[in-house]
Chains A and B, each alone.
Chain A
Amino acid sequence: MRRIKPRGFFTQFSPEIGYSRTFLSSTTYIVDENNEVHINKLAGNDYLILSLGVGLGYDLEKTKNKPFAVFSKFNALMMYPYNSTLYLRSTIELGFIYKPKNFLRYNLKSKIKYK
């Protein structure tokens, strides 16, 4: 959710839900029932992510007619289930948005019939 002021300043609030797949950063071993050791490639975990973010930004398109915006955002992330409990972490985003002129712009074609 973003509120943009006429002068280009904006605030944003973003509740998010998502899926996270982590990958362990080092070799991961598994020992089977015969005590033989194997390497588990792509080892990691799947988590449900809930996130709340608040941020501030400035949209240059409003006043300077440039297709850019800059923003900063603070997110509180909650990963579940992390060892049967919740794992909390925070992130800070510093962002730059470029909005190409015709990107995702839909040209509406309509036919009007007069009777």
Chain B
Amino acid sequence: MKPYLLLIISLFLIISCQKESITIGLNVSETFYVQNEGASMRMLVEGNTKSNNFLLFVHGGPGTSSFFYNTDYISNHIEGKYACVYWDERNAGATQGNSNGENLNLNQMTEDLKKVIIVLKNRYGQDINVFLLGHSFGGLLTSSFMTTENNQTMLKGWIFAAGSHNYPLNDSLTRLMLLDLGLQQFALNKNIDKWTPIIEYCNQHTGNFSVEESNQLNAYASDAESYFDEVKKIDLLKIIQENAVKDDWPLTSILVNQRFSSQADFNQDLANTEFTSKLYKVTTPTLILFGKYDFICPSGLGDNLYNHISTNEKKISISPISGHNIFYQDESFFCNEVNEFIEKYK
């Protein structure tokens, strides 16, 4: 009899863990999952759910994690006013699943994002105001979402933070920026040894980039911003040390997912993906944020986006001291711009 009793108690405990619990308050922190096509995607909602305003972070990568966006600064300067939603995309962060690699593609992820918003509205009320924030690859994913069917009607606003909506254009702009600023630094006799191979590479590879060339440009772009004194350096190890234990980061899962997604076949398809030709569909208020020293996603992408969306409710703002990770490198600029935008369009 006793083993059966133990089994019944265990099942009861498991079911209790999965019982729906929704908190409307000023300082909420709750996790739930959205399951779709082989992925159980982890969602963390933190902050002021009582405000009725939800800022949904769509992380970069593909394959990084929303854990990196949940900084103390954002907690202290945004979560008090609004609820922040940290979504781990499929095959990323703390998201779980079995053999689901064949579903890792942009169309599937666009559908995932739609379902994530449907679940948010189902949990917290159909009348909540959802603001979508896409960073880096998240810019491509949110561009796909915004230009698909009537998805944008689910939102109050779109924030495009150092994102890329056009990968071929992205590569060209990265090359031009590396070359322009590289030559300027060369003339100033700064970091000659570091800029020399970059300038040589850019002179040898002039366009119609292969995936390998695109990856090499991205690698140079990642290094380049660290050659400027005014740009805050990012110490990934320090970020992990300070946050991983405190916030229960599933490090192994983040690592294996990142490794799989960054090497997945669909990256080949992304190399030719662009949404410039579809941006005329966007009529939702849009905030565009970039860093002056962002070589990975140069601010020229922001200009292209600004000039092609149809809404008149749009603003582009450039941080004078940031590289690609604007929410780390110019925290006050990022939070002030985001708060002002939500306040205006909520």
Contact = CB atoms under 8 A, between A and B. Distances in A.
A27 B120 CA distance: 13
Contact of B32 (A28, A35, A86): A28
Interface in A20-39: 22-31, 35, 37, 39
A83 interface: yes
Contact of B256 (A30, A31, A37, A83): A83
A41 B18 contact: yes
Interface stretch (B79-87, B90-98, B155-163): B90-98
Contacts of A88: 252, 256
B275 interface: no
A65 to B, nearest CB: 29
B252 A28 contact: no
Interface residues of A, number: 29
A84 B99 contact: yes
A41 B260 contact: no
B118 A37 contact: yes
Contacts of B96: 22, 24, 45, 82-83
Contacts of B97: 45, 82-84
Contacts, number: 105
Contacts of B193: none
Contacts of B100: 83-84
Contact of B91 (A35, A43, A83): A83
A92 to B, nearest CB: 15
Which of A27, A30, A46 has the largest count of B CB atoms less than 10 A from its CB? A27
B18 A27 contact: yes
Contacts of A30: 34-36
Contact of A31 (B33, B91, B119, B260): B119
Nearest to B20: A27
Nearest to B259: A85
A110 B298 CA distance: 87
Nearest to A23: B14
A87 B15 CA distance: 25
B101 interface: yes
Interface in A65-111: 81-89
Nearest to B260: A85
A43 B40 contact: yes
B65 interface: no
A88 B39 CA distance: 19
A47 interface: yes
B21 interface: yes
Contacts of A84: 91, 97-101, 104, 260
Contact of A24 (B20, B40, B90): B40
Contacts of B36: 30-31
Contacts of A23: 14, 17-18
B64 to A, nearest CB: 14
11 contacts: A26-B32, A26-B33, A30-B34, A31-B36, A42-B14, A81-B98, A83-B260, A84-B91, A84-B99, A87-B252, A87-B253
Given A31-B119, A84-B101, A89-B252, 6 more contacts: A39-B20, A43-B35, A82-B98, A83-B257, A85-B257, A88-B256
Please name the 7 residue pairs, one residue from A and one from B, whose CB atoms are nearest each other, closest first: A84-B101, A28-B33, A37-B122, A31-B115, A85-B260, A27-B20, A27-B32
